[in-house]
């Protein structure tokens, strides 16, 4: 029981409570992974057969980490656990049971690109307007339906759904869904959503299968329960119905995936499903300083829908949270980059101690430019993954076709790569012949003489023969040897080798890296079945965290806040805290959407260990137009006693000679703080953040531009967006006179008078 010694009382209680329904509410940085792993280890130590324990996660990384920790406590018995992502565990079950619902056990798993490719082909066949029926929209609609367990039949028979579709001019969505489902079934393929949708179908339609797995999985644990959707919720509920030894772990304050179908009500209403529930709250944060925790608490306290908890840290108070204001997004990037450079030099830190988090990917541009100018190495997360590269997908398509010759998408991808004289017209004829005769395209390929003649028939037939030879090879060779044989004899490896361009060399090296990965897989000792088909399933189910081949590089991390969940960094910069950006404009239509945005901000804040910096810009380009920005309402919700306001950047960058004189004239009249350009003076009185943060200028009543032909230095003016300022320099000749104006809210700015629209105040 030595593994219990390092647990705090609440963690220990959660580990020891092994019977009945349990909910562990795990605040950010509260050691939930330790609790889950020790709870599983404790079950095994108490005599529970590891084969009877199911642990569901949302990433393979989390599953690997947990299994390693459990192995450290209980030894090799941990290998027998059913542990992995929802999709990987249920894909494993479907491999055994798929024939009951009409699928082959060697079904292909379509990724998002495959799915959209099938949809695009269907849209083309139906001659539908791609402005109304984009592949992205159709994919999203079908995915949403499946996650809510709506089949194509139910979709077409639901009056409300049909009315909604027809009202938007998209009345064919039901037919597209039907065709797509049929196309996947014919190809022996399931997409990601099908892995859950078909598992629900299996458990619903076959009571004997449900009975089998209810008795097998006597203990269930679900990590990140707040991220489950309706489909996942129903599977878990069915599997746990017999024994009710169900433990869910999560944090409602970190529920940020509603756009993927996650339903926060699953965790908020968990007690309604299990009235005799035991609840444990992990409230001690081991990651962050007390000031960071306090800021996070003050943010999330504004949400109405939440499970109350009091997160605290026993670490030192740490630095106050710095709020930085900049005039533009480019200046924001400059301030962030300079801060990182300075902290690294003065504190002896590494680049990978720093992260920059933003609401949207588009915000990375200004950050990248600023980092490049200072030669700061960085990496953007969420880009093209290794397994999404064309050359990798090409070779993988050969593997897929080898194990499932009915895979139409794989067939279309490689039948003429490398080139074999089989053009698009021939491929269309193959697909058409298959449709007309009720057979698969591959059956046409291996019997080309019945459907075409001449040289084309020979080329198609040779391709079919080659794939059939790969099928024999794959049964008799190891995963690596089979993969190498296919890469060589398909002609793909030779084609890439002969491309001597830099890009060609990179593609060839990527193929070698894939083969190296398969070699490593073949030599693993923790798995019994090491066939190429098993490797194929593994890479088909990879989550984003598994695709990074250079995780330990010493670079600053740039990513969206959604991508940062589950990560932690010594210092974090959260940028772009502006209304309509964060919170997103799309979230302002309902309280639930706004509360999810606030939870997203909470996630961003709690990624930081020792220092947190939050920044916003007062202007930003949007669709090519410079717009004024207002600080985010979320900043107003932070208790100001935890903040350090750094609005001094303009003083240094403007070099304005009269700054010191005018600073006094523009100092705010209340004595609790100075002007917007300087840090607040210490005060025992509470400071309202709202009064400190710069708001968008509201033009004076009846604002109208003045005649500026006689404008002179020293005049005070008002700009519709930039507010009040003083003219400090005029240069050029009419009509191209430029005025340098020092605005009291944003600092110095140069304007072309003929476009400036200034009102002369005095």
Evaluate whether 735 touches 719 at the Cβ level (below 8 Å): no
Extract the tokens encoding 339.
């801060």
Q: What distances in angstroms separate CA 762 from CA 80, 210, 679, 711, 715, one per listed residue? A: 82, 82, 30, 10, 6
What does the alpha-carbon distance between residue 408 and residue 415 come to, in Å, rounded to a whole number? 10
Active site annotation includes 199: no
**Number of alpha carbons in the 13 Å side-chain half-sphere of residue 379:** 17
Three-state DSSP state, 728 = strand
Tell me which of 10, 32, 226, 402 is the catalytic residue: 32
Q: Which residues contact 299 (CB under 8 A, 6 or more apart)?
A: 598, 601, 602, 605, 634, 637, 638
Q: What are phi and psi of 138, to 5 degrees?
A: -65, -45
Q: Which two tokens stand for residue 471?
A: 């099928």
Q: Rounded distance, CA 218 to CA 225, Å?
A: 19
Q: Is 494 a catalytic residue?
A: no
How many Å apart are CA 518 and CA 38, to the nearest integer? 32
Query: Which one of 11, 37, 254, 306 is the catalytic residue?
Result: 254
Query: How many whole angstroms from its chain centre is CA 203?
Result: 30
Binding-site residues sit at 26-33
Catalytic residue among 223, 443, 578, 745: 223
425 annotated active-site? no
Contact predicate 415/463, CB 8 Å: yes
CA separation for the pair 759, 382 (Å, rounded): 47
CA dihedral 152, 156, 161, 167 (to 10 degrees): 120
Is 32 among the catalytic positions? yes
The three-class DSSP label of residue 324 is strand
CA distances from 228 to 250, 256, 262, 587, 601 (A): 10, 11, 5, 21, 20
| Rounded Cα–Cα distance for residues 761 and 22 (Å) | 67
Is residue 600 within 8 Å of residue 637, measured between CB atoms?
no
Instruction: Name the phi and psi angles at 571, rounded to 5.
Output: -130, 135
Give the active site residue among 224, 353, 443, 745.
Answer: 224
**Which residues lie across from 614 on neighbouring strands?**
323, 574
Residue 667, φ and ψ in degrees, nearest 5? -65, 135
**Residue 718, beta-bridge partner list:** 724, 759
Q: Is 112 a catalytic residue?
A: no
Q: If DSSP codes are grouped into helix, strand and coil, which group holds residue 643?
A: strand
Q: How far are the Cα atoms of 394, 400, 402, 442, 492 from residue 474, in angstroms, in the given order?
A: 17, 11, 8, 18, 17
CA 428 to chain centre: 36
User: 12, 17, 18, 33: which one is catalytic?
Assistant: 33
Q: Please, where are the H alpha helices in 631-747?
A: 633-636, 649-654, 659-665, 689-692
223 is annotated as an active-site residue: yes
Structure tokens given for 31: 């050691």
Task: Indicate the pairing of strand 619-622 with strand 625-628.
Answer: antiparallel
Report the binding-site residues for ATP: 26-33
Per the residue annotation, which of 359, 507, 607, 650 is the catalytic one? 607
Residues carrying an active site annotation = 32-33, 223-224, 254, 607
């Amino acid at each position: 029981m030595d593994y219990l010694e390092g647990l705090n009382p609440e963690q220990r209680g959660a580990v020891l409570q092994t019977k009945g329904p349990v909910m562990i509410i795990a605040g950010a940085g509260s050691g939930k992974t330790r609790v889950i792993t020790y709870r599983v280890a404790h079950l095994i130590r108490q005599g529970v057969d590891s084969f009877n324990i199911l642990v569901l996660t949302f990433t393979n990384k989390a599953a690997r980490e947990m299994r390693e920790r459990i192995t450290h406590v209980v030894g090799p018995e941990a290998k027998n656990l059913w542990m992995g992502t929802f999709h990987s565990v249920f894909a494993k079950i479907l491999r055994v049971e798929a024939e009951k619902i009409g699928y082959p056990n060697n079904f292909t798993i379509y990724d998002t690109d495959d799915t959209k490719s099938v949809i695009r082909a269907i849209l083309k066949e139906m001659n539908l307007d791609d402005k109304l029926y984009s592949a992205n929209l159709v994919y999203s609609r079908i995915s949403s339906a499946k996650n809510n367990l709506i089949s194509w039949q139910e979709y077409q028979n639901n009056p409300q759904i049909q009315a909604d579709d027809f009202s938007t001019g998209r009345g064919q969505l039901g037919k597209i869904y039907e065709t797509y489902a049929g196309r996947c079934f014919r190809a022996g393929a399931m997409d990601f959503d099908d892995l859950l949708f078909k598992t629900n179908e299996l458990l619903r339609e076959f009571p004997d299968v449900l009975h089998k797995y209810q008795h097998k999985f006597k203990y269930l644990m679900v990590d990140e329960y707040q991220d489950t959707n309706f489909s996942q919720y129903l599977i878990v509920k069915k599997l746990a119905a017999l024994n009710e030894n169900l433990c869910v772990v999560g944090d409602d304050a970190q529920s940020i995936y509603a756009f993927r179908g996650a339903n926060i009500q699953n965790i908020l209403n968990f007690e309604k499903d299990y009235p005799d529930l035991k609840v444990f709250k992990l409230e001690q944060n081991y990651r962050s300083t007390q000031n960071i925790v306090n800021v996070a608490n003050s943010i999330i306290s504004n949400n109405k829908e939440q499970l109350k908890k009091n997160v605290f840290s026993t670490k030192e108070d740490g630095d106050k949270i710095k709020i930085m204001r900049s005039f533009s997004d480019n200046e924001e990037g400059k301030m962030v980059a300079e801060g990182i450079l300075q902290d690294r030099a003065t504190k002896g830190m590494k680049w990978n101690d720093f992260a920059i988090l933003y609401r949207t990917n588009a915000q990375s541009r200004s950050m990248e430019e600023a980092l490049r100018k200072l030669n700061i190495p960085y990496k953007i997360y969420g880009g093209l993954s290794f397994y999404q590269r064309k050359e990798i997908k090409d070779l993988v398509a050969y593997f897929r076709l080898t194990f499932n010759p009915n895979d139409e998408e794989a067939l279309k991808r490689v039948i003429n790569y490398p080139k074999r004289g089989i053009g698009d017209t021939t491929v269309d004829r193959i697909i058409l012949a298959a449709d007309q005769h009720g057979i698969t395209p591959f059956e046409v390929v291996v019997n080309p003489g019945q459907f075409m003649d001449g040289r084309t028939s020979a080329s198609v037939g040779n391709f079919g023969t080659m794939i059939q030879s790969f099928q024999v090879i794959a049964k008799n060779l190891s995963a690596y040897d089979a993969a190498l044989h296919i890469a060589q004899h398909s002609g793909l490896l030779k084609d890439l080798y002969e491309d001597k361009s830099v890009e060609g060399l990179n593609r060839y090296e990527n193929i070698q890296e894939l083969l190296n990965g398969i070699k490593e897989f073949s030599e693993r000792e923790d798995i019994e079945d090491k066939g190429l088909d098993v490797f194929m399933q593994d890479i088909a189910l990879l989550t984003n965290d598994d695709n990074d081949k250079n995780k330990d590089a010493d670079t600053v991390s740039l990513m969206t806040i959604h991508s940062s969940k589950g990560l932690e960094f010594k210092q974090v910069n959260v940028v772009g805290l502006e209304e309509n950006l964060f919170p997103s404009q799309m979230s302002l239509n309902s309280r639930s959407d706004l509360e999810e945005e606030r939870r997203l901000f909470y996630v961003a804040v709690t990624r930081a260990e020792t220092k947190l910096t939050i920044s916003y810009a007062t202007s930003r380009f949007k669709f090519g137009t410079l717009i004024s920005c207002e600080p985010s309402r979320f900043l107003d919700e932070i208790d100001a006693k935890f903040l350090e306001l750094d609005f001094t950047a303009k003083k240094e960058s403007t070099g304005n000679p009269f700054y010191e004189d005018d600073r006094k004239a523009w100092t705010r009249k209340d004595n609790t703080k100075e002007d917007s350009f300087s840090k607040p003076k210490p005060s025992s009185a509470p400071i309202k953040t709202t009064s400190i943060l710069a708001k968008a200028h509201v033009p004076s009543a009846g604002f109208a531009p003045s005649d500026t032909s006689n404008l002179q230095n020293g005049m005070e003016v008002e700009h519709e967006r930039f507010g009040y300022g003083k003219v400090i320099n005029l240069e050029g000749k009419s009509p191209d006179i430029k005025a340098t104006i020092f605005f009291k809210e944003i600092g110095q700015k140069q304007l072309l008078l003929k476009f400036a629209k200034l009102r002369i105040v005095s």
